Amino acid sequence: MTPQQIIMTQPDDWHLHLRDGEMLGTVLPYTARQFARAIVMPNLKPPVTTVKQATEYAQRIRAALAQRSAEQNIAFDPLMTLYLTDHTSADEIQRARDSEVVQALKLYPAGATTNSESGVTDLNHCTKALEAMQKNAMVLCVHGEVTHQDVDVFDREAVFIDQVLIPLRHRFPELRIVFEHITTRQAADYVQSASGPIAATITPQHLLYNRNALFQGGIRPHYYCLPVLKREVHRQALLAAASSGSPKFFLGTDSAPHERATKETACGCAGCFSAPYALELYAQAFASAGALDRLEAFASFHGPDFYRLPRNTRKIKLSRTAQKISSPIAAEGGFLVPLGFGEQLDWRFEGFA
Ligand code: DOR
Ligand code: ZN
């Protein structure tokens, strides 16, 4: 029987884009009201490549939060990442390790997605940095797609596993890797069966939608993200993995806000803004699999366990209350359209229990 409410340990978001400046101030409260911590992506313009930049960015996040939620009972901890480049030095990795701020490095293959121009062109350029990361047990978050134009966009993740990830793990078997926002059966199977320190995050959109959502009655840019939505068999494999209870899979929304005009255009940006209803969306997905009893471990336990951080202790509540995702959010002189806009949800986040 479906419960009327869920009380669970407060979750964390292990993959999040917060942007900067005015947009940061707009989007941050949506994450901070649901999640205790988040792994904050470094793909700003210019990217966050040094510990100094990450420390300053963390200060801007804390300042934005203090400004927006002074009277509210909110304690949100940004966990920072550095953007790995062809030039990241072993010294920078050491500084990251010694800092209290940086939790992980992010690998963007150059050209794979939004602001990835400074990404890695060849992992052989990163040998020193990867050696230092492996030695210091630092986590590498991986955007797992090859970028060659001759590989079909729907195949880029599966090809990445064979051409990049397996050779990388062969060279650095102790490197702690999070395969970010996995989208395919191949990725779920690979992570589940691989030995050694590898885990994966899964977004709400990849649990709830298949690629038909992009073309339902016309082109729908608010369902466009990278890696792109895949076929239904892949969605089912991801839902099975997320709700399997395996500690190798955990929550990472990849909430990635873009102002509406930059999505509803001839060459629209990739990214789904899922922060406003993130937990409700995950609850919807887990309920559809009859696995609500496994939501807490996926959302609140497996992530901190992999990152070797303490689990949260506060509890939050979701009630079984229907609501419609109906309001765009004012931002940058325009609007942000939340993921699932116009759709009905069965759950509502009610704050701390
Ligand atoms: O859809 C995406 N949007 N995928 C990414 O990898 C980056 C993100 C963004 O920053 O907008
Ligand atoms: Zn992302």
Question: Quick one: three-class SS letters along 160-227?
Answer: HHHHHHHHHHHHCCCCEEEECCCCCHHHHHHHHHCCCCEEEEECHHHHHCCHHHHCCCCCCHHHCCCC
Question: Which atom of ligand 1 is least distant from the CA of 224?
Answer: 1
Query: Does residue 126 lie within any of the structural domains?
Result: yes
Q: Rounded distance, CA 44 to CA 122, Å?
A: 21
Question: Which atom of ligand 1 is least distant from the CA of 225?
Answer: 1
Taking residues 13-38, what's their average pLDDT? 97
254 is an active site residue: yes
Strands 315-319 and 334-336: unpaired
pLDDT at residue 72, rounded to an integer = 63
Number of domains in the chain: 1
**pLDDT above 70 for 57:** yes
pLDDT at residue 35, rounded to an integer = 98
**pLDDT above 70 for 292:** yes
Cα of 143 vs centre of ligand 2, distance in Å, is 8
Question: Which atom of ligand 1 is least distant from the CA of 258?
Answer: 11
Query: Does residue 3 lie within any of the structural domains?
Result: no
Cα of 135 vs centre of ligand 2, distance in Å, is 26
Question: Which atom of ligand 1 is least distant from the CA of 180?
Answer: 6
Residues within 6 Å of ligand 1 by CB: 17, 43, 113-114, 143, 225-226, 256, 270-271
pLDDT at residue 346, rounded to an integer = 98
Taking residues 172-195, what's their average pLDDT? 98
Q: What are residue 323's phi and psi, to 5 degrees?
A: -150, 155
Query: Does residue 330 lie within any of the structural domains?
Result: no
**pLDDT above 90 for 137:** yes
DSSP, collapsed to helix, strand or coil, labels residue 111 as coil
Query: Does residue 339 lie within any of the structural domains?
Result: no
- Give the type of residue at 84: L
Taking residues 286-300, what's their average pLDDT? 98
pLDDT at residue 200, rounded to an integer = 99
**pLDDT above 60 for 71:** no
Cα of 156 vs centre of ligand 2, distance in Å, is 16
Q: Give pLDDT tens digits for 141-171.
A: 999 999 999 999 999 999 999 999 999 999 9
The first and second tokens of residue 127, run together, are: 């040998």
Catalytic residue (choose from 13, 254, 293, 305): 254
DSSP, collapsed to helix, strand or coil, labels residue 104 as strand
20, 27, 43, best to mutate for ligand 1 pocket (most atoms within 8 Å of CB): 43
Query: Does residue 295 lie within any of the structural domains?
Result: yes
Cα of 251 vs centre of ligand 2, distance in Å, is 13
Containing structural domain, residue 107: 11-311
pLDDT at residue 201, rounded to an integer = 99
Query: Does residue 2 lie within any of the structural domains?
Result: no
Q: The domain that contains 95 carries what CATH number? A: 3.20.20.140
Cα of 71 vs centre of ligand 2, distance in Å, is 30
**Ligand sitting nearest the alpha carbon of 18:** 1
**pLDDT above 90 for 199:** yes
**Ligand sitting nearest the alpha carbon of 180:** 2
**Ligand sitting nearest the alpha carbon of 116:** 1
Cβ neighbours of 155 (radius 10 Å): 14
Contact between 312 and 300 (Cβ < 8 Å): yes
